[in-house]
Amino acid sequence: MAPRRKKIYEGKAKILYEGPEPGTLVQYFKDDATAFNAQKKATIEGKGVLNNRLSEFFMQGLTNVGIPNHFIRRLNMREQLIRQVEIVPLEVIVRNFAAGSIAKRLGLEEGTALPRPIVEYSYKNDALGDPLVPEEYIIAFGWANQQDLDDIISLALRVNDFLAGVFYGVGIKLVDFKIEIGRVWDGDFMRLIVADEISPDSCRLWDAKTGAHLDKDVFRRDLGSLTDAYTEVARRLGVLPTNSTNMKPTLIN
């Protein structure tokens, strides 16, 4: 029997295993869903398979337009091969319309168009509930320097333009999203690339016509079936072929 591969890290929705070659990892997508800093938890059958496919689709799309990211290739229904990175301990959030915490903080009605895309940062720390932090904290505590932040903003806005366009094309409004950034080294030269995942777990996606939620808010706010919402996103993007008889998407490898 082959030895079980080494687990490097287990998070709320994914597990990272040692990869087949140095500098690579295997990213496994679980069916677990959490919200409100893991106070609300559930296992949602099929979520991991959908997010593996969707994250592949978006990361491959970023590669196609020249935005560097960790994705190498999908291995199977739940796993993908990625570049090992050193994660910058920030959640980089880009907002196009007000929703969630910014709507609450500033008393804005959800859906209000923002004057321009807003990039903000939370410090990745579950015990503290990922607090919003200003650039001043990030630089003072050494999580990233000014040059890194300039590069992170540029990456975040390029990802926003790409994703907003892709979603617009399938009748979905990209309200906001979160990405994570990783450092990779080529010799002494350090580069920042998009890492983690891009999926409806980390975006707010509203149907352009009806405003229906097609993202993790379905779970956070008990709005129905999360798998149905994610399947709809995948179907519109052509990530899942539909079976014409019952319109139920078939998951193919």
Residues in touch with ligand UDP (CB under 6 A)? 91, 93, 99-102, 130, 176-178, 202-204, 216
Instruction: Select 82 or 205, whichever has its Cβ closest to ligand UDP.
Output: 205
Minimum distance, C-beta of residue 170 to ligand UDP, in the bound complex (Å): 18
* Residue 24: partners with Cβ closer than 8 Å, 6 or more residues away: 72, 81, 82, 83, 84
Instruction: Select 38 or 190, whichever has its Cβ closest to ligand UDP.
Output: 38
Report the SS3 class of residue 76. coil
* Residue 187: partners with Cβ closer than 8 Å, 6 or more residues away: none
Minimum distance, C-beta of residue 89 to ligand UDP, in the bound complex (Å): 13
C-alpha pair distances (Å), 7 with each of 3, 12, 53, 141: 12, 14, 22, 29
H or E element: which one contains 101? helix 100-106
Instruction: Select 74 or 178, whichever has its Cβ closest to ligand UDP.
Output: 178
Minimum distance, C-beta of residue 94 to ligand UDP, in the bound complex (Å): 8
Q: What is the DSSP letter of 3?
A: P
Minimum distance, C-beta of residue 31 to ligand UDP, in the bound complex (Å): 17
The C-alpha atoms of residue 78 and residue 248 are separated, in whole angstroms, by 20
Q: Which amino acid is at 59?
A: M
Minimum distance, C-beta of residue 47 to ligand UDP, in the bound complex (Å): 14
Q: Which amino acid is at 105?
A: R
Minimum distance, C-beta of residue 253 to ligand UDP, in the bound complex (Å): 27
Q: Which residue is nearest to ligand UDP (CB)?
A: 100
Extract the tokens encoding 123: 């410090």
H or E element: which one contains 63? helix 47-64
Extract the tokens encoding 79: 């796993």
The C-alpha atoms of residue 163 and residue 169 are separated, in whole angstroms, by 10
The greatest distance separating any two alpha carbons of the chain, rounded to the nearest whole angstrom, comes to 59
Instruction: Select 124 or 235, whichever has its Cβ closest to ligand UDP.
Output: 124
Minimum distance, C-beta of residue 74 to ligand UDP, in the bound complex (Å): 21
Contact status, residue 179 vs residue 165, Cβ threshold 8 Å: no
